[in-house]
């Protein structure tokens, strides 16, 4: 099933219709939950032997990360990419909870920090700030103190009001996560 499913995920993630990409984002969590129940199970995917775990980390997380940036890189005539970004963000946090804590930093957190450092896009920094706050309880306290907290503090000093506001809203949850 993986051999047919992975190429389909990539195709659907690039669909021209926003609602199709949003539906995919919403369905990736149940899919990843099933895959993580047997993470060592493998199949040939696009000519290479791939484990279920690798599909989650190397396919699903990057697909969701791409959806976070203005609805997956597709310009939307009617707007509405906020629903797709919300669905992708929720899915990314839920998938992070399925991964071993040490992997969250190298997969999900790295993608979110990349968004946080996007000086060109205010929206990406807002999304990153929201995600950092949501990921705080999922990542280890050490990662939270080492990366999440300093990044949110930095974003709290952003020149854009919306970024600072989201950072301020996430401080309470961060404090609880780091035990301060």
Per-residue pLDDT for 127 more than 70? yes
Mean pLDDT of the chain: 88
User: Helices H, strands E: what count in the chain?
Assistant: 11, 2
Pick the closest to residue 3 from 67, 56, 37, 49 (CA basis): 49
Given a contact cutoff of 8 angstroms between Cβ atoms, the answer to whether 13 and 24 are in contact is: yes
What per-residue confidence (pLDDT) applies to 77? Answer: 40
Rounded to whole angstroms, the Cα distance separating 42 from 106 reads 22
The pTM (predicted TM-score) of the whole model is 0.87
What per-residue confidence (pLDDT) applies to 78? Answer: 44
Per-residue pLDDT for 16 more than 60? yes
Across 6-32, average pLDDT: 93
Inter-residue long-range contacts of 164-170, CB under 8 Å, 24+ positions, other chains counted:
166/126, 166/129, 166/130, 166/133, 167/129, 169/133, 170/129, 170/130, 170/132, 170/133, 170/136
What per-residue confidence (pLDDT) applies to 48? Answer: 87
Split at pLDDT 50, 70, 90, the class of 137 is confident
């Amino acid at each position: 099933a993986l051999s047919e499913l992975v190429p389909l995920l990539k195709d659907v993630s690039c669909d021209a219709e926003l609602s199709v990409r949003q539906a995919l984002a919403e369905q990736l969590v149940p899919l990843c939950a099933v895959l993580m129940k047997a993470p060592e199970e493998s199949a040939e995917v696009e000519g290479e032997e791939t484990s279920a775990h690798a599909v989650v980390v190397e396919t699903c997380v990057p697909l969701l990360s791409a959806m976070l940036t203005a609805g997956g890189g597709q310009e939307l005539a009617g707007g509405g990419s906020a629903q797709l970004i919300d669905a992708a963000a929720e899915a990314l946090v839920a998938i992070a909870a399925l991964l071993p804590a040490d992997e969250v930093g190298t997969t999900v957190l790295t993608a979110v920090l990349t968004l946080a450092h996007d000086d060109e896009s205010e929206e990406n920094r807002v999304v990153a700030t929201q995600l950092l706050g949501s990921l705080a309880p999922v990542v280890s306290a050490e990662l939270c103190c080492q990366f999440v907290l300093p990044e949110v503090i930095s974003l709290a000093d952003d020149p854009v009001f919306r970024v600072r506001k989201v950072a301020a809203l996430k401080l309470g949850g961060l404090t609880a996560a780091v035990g301060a």
